[in-house]
Structure 1
């Protein structure tokens, strides 16, 4: 009986050992059969899910808390994946994530070609690149050294390299020009103006260059006093893109002021001379209106003499003699704005002890107040809303009290 019990016990132990062996065999084979030992992804991947590491579906699979990686950054990451198994509970297996960078940088050039003079600063490779798109930092270099100090034409290769060694090569045609010929200034001759005349020193002056289509012209009139009789030196300075320079000097004779007929033609000629000096390329209508406003405020001295109602007589006085009352200032501004094609209209104060005139202007945004007179307290009323003008007028003894029924809606 005792012997039989021992045999039964041995059989049970053998069964347990066999079961454990089979279980362990299944356990380890199940682990290795679920998780890939290595996974490769391209750097810059926005997301990297655990399912990409599994050979088959396992809803409980997940990365362990100590499995940290960034699929946007190249490198090798050792990871652990855990999942639930019947009988054995939570099990884990190891894998390696290889984040690779095999994609060359995307490069946008800043220019299709380079045209420059030998005297100009040589560009770097980075100067010729507008943007670079890559998951890593990149270097930008020329494929070789290029000589930008000698005249000639060549193709410059720009090499953009990322941290993984991927490269993008772009080619830019380059033309280096040698220019030792200075520009030519045409039309320079002695000038004569009357005292107080509005003058344009650049009128009839032309600058040409054999290679530069847009040479610059500078006028040095620092010695000229248009309000004082005398003979003065005036210098023109022309420069081309290569840095070549030409200077020409002439004389300006200022004679006694003369009275001219205030005809439309004469007044428009005076207006055009003023505008030639104050209006710059690229100005929009608001900037042009401000330039006219500043000129009238700064160049016409206020005088309480009898006003002039005629448009051209008043504007002539303002532009020729640089003196006048609010009517002269308003009408001078009106003529200048008309020459620029800026919509405007006269507005009149309700007369009490004294009258006053100013303008409304519309540059496509509705009507605004435009008073080219320096107010007694130093205020400048340029492009004012109606509410702001009323507030100012009410606070300063009705300086701009007017009848709204006579005018269009003011902003």
Structure 2
């Protein structure tokens, strides 16, 4: 009995062990399956996370300022995350960012396509430099663009207009507001200082003097005339010569009328005296042809004005003979006789030098002795290197030389030949230079020391 029971119990233990083993294998398979499922889930999550990360790295709307450059980097938050592998459906280098615009395109990365948008926007207002403006009361208001300069904007055109306008009926200093607007509607309002002046001063006419001419001559009324004004930089000048009959000898009135922008008027009259052309008259063209031949012989093209002028006065002094009387019916006759016949009075010497200097392009004037007791005298005032100097080629008794480039002060002290005789009305002529140049002049050889 006892042995039989023991056997039964051993068989039960053996069956129990087999059952436990089967259970353990089942649990093992279940655990392995769970691990596999977890791995699959992790891989799926990783893949999803990767693509989500790429999607989040793409900037789906990029806005750039008009005129700025756009690059592929603008469409990614980070260039580390495989951004170099991305393909854009447009060539950004061909996008004109100077034009405000908006368009869509795609970015492809690992077979995933992401729609994006590019906006080129102009949000910056035009810039400029203000120009303070001065005008006269009751003058026409200038266009607004006259009050600004250096206008810049990436878009053109920029419109310029007034926001406010000053009261032009009275003088004042104020601020004018000028609006600049570009095609995108960006606005910049600038403040421009604006001064309205009540101009009551008339222009000044200078250089108007009486004219002597011959019947039939061509008159240049504007030669030597200047008009200035305290405010208007460009006053006008009209000349009324309607009373002149160029075919009839006589004395006529010619009126110069100057006007400024404010309407102020200045008037001055001169007398035009016409005489019948003398029978011995020499036409200027004939005179200048003779003078040019002489000038070509005594000067060279590479000489300075000072060197040319010295040669001219040296030639006149030693090639023209002084006589007490000559034909002075016209300045051309006097100059012609001095240059051709080689003789004349002081008037002839002065006019001969004047003609040669004019051919050389050297500005000069004729100075007349004033007042005089016994006889008149004439010499030249010559402009050299921007300064005026006195020159005289007329021979003087007991003085074997000539006067060249003396200042007013030097001329007043001059006593060549034992007397001066150079008194004149200083108010009629420009003031001379004040610095002496006599140490540079060799009168004998007619040369200038460098």
- TM-score, L = length of structure 2: 0.46
Q: Going by fraction, where is helix more abundant, 1 or 2? A: 2
Larger Rg: 2
- TM-score, L = length of structure 1: 0.50
